[in-house]
Amino acid sequence: MRKRIVAGNWKMNKTYEEALSLVSEIDNMVKDEVNGDVTVIVAPPFPFLQSVGKLTQGNDLMHLAAQNVSEHDSGAYTGEVSASMLKSVGVQYVIIGHSERRMYHHEDAQALYKKLKATIAQGMTPIFCCGEPLEERDADRHFEYVGKQLHDSLSYLSNEEFDKVVIAYEPIWAIGTGRTASSQQAQEMHAYIREQLSRMFDAEAAFNCSILYGGSCNPGNAKELFAQPDVDGGLIGGASLKSRDFTDIIKSF
């Protein structure tokens, strides 16, 4: 049975106090309004991870994610944060390969593979992001583009390692633009991703892999997106910064 997941990527937003009040609001709304069949994840900036995690500890539905991880285990890598450090402050999920990191920090397929390995080795779950830019979709090369992203970073994992992985399909043209993919566009890409995964790994593991949609998902469009057979939830940016919107998205299953 696939996990249904809604994850909030806070990106580089919020001060410490704002982060604590946002997570407290989400935590209370989830306790009051959400049934037990969904995994809720919040991904605050690094400095707030431990405090945000502590505030959600008593709520079984809530989980903690980091937005990035170093590919290295330890040592002279100024400014980096290792998987074991994340694990030691209670992180359970790590977002890997977000398009903003690929674009602004030049993270390539090989680096992402190493980040996946480091995350899985610490017993955490990677949320591996993929998605095409607008020019690839306009040129009708979006399947090929996403297929290559998956192949280039995931195909070296073992079946056991892949069992831990969550995928997020995030078309770059839909991120932060207000222009979401239609439910049909999301479904056809998610089905394609699942098929590619079944070629690389066990068919059963591919079937059980949660594939999230990300890109201008909001309370108005989440229900239709989440109703698609291969859409197992969402990775939410802007709307995850508002407790009411985020909770309403969680309730859209």
Q: Which residues belong to the active site?
A: 98, 170
Grouping H, G, I as helix, E, B as strand and the rest as coil, residue 243 is helix
- Read off the tokens for 110: 């090989």
| Residue of 81, 118, 127, 175 interacting with ligand PEP (CB under 6 A) | 175
Coil, helix or strand at residue 55: helix
Q: How far is CA 179 from CA 15, 204, 236, in A?
A: 28, 33, 14
How far is it, in rounded angstroms, from Cα 235 to Cα 9? 7
Q: Does 176 bind ligand PEP (CB under 6 A)?
A: yes
Task: Give ∠ CA 234-125-114 in degrees, rounded to 5.
Answer: 110
By CB under 6 A, the count of residues binding ligand PEP is 13
To the question of whether residue 237 is assigned a binding role by annotation, the answer is yes
Question: CA-to-CA distance for 193 and 107, rounded, in angstroms?
Answer: 21
Closest approach of ligand PEP to the CB of residue 90, in Å:
22
Q: Is 215 an interacting residue with respect to ligand PEP (CB under 6 A)?
A: yes
Residue nearest ligand PEP (C-beta atom): 237
230 binds ligand PEP (CB under 6 A): no
Cα(161)–Cα(236) distance, integer angstroms: 25
Spatial distance between the Cα atoms of 203 and 194, rounded to a whole number of angstroms: 9
> Would the annotation count 10 as a binding residue?
yes
Q: How large is the C-alpha radius of gyration of the chain? A: 17
| Residue 130 near residue 92, CB atoms below 8 Å | no
212 binds ligand PEP (CB under 6 A): no
User: How far apart are CB 95 and ligand PEP at their closest, in Å?
Assistant: 8
9 touches ligand PEP by CB under 6 A: yes
- Candidates 14-22, 190-198, 221-229, 231-239: pick the segment binding ligand PEP (CB under 6 A): 231-239
Shorter beta-carbon distance to ligand PEP: residue 97 or 215 = 215
Q: Which stretch binds ligand PEP (CB under 6 A): 49-57, 108-116, 140-148, 213-221?
A: 213-221
Nearer to ligand PEP, 92 or 155 (CB): 92
Check binding of 136 to ligand PEP (CB under 6 A): no
* Residue whose entry in the numeric block shows the structure tokens 């290792």: 82
At CA 51, angle to CA 47 and CA 52, rounded to 5?
95
Q: Which listed range, 36-44, 119-127, 133-141, 215-223, lies at the site for ligand PEP (CB under 6 A)?
A: 215-223
Annotated binding site for substrate: 9-11, 176, 216, 237-238
Which positions touch ligand PEP (CB under 6 A)?
A: 9, 170, 175-176, 214-217, 235-239
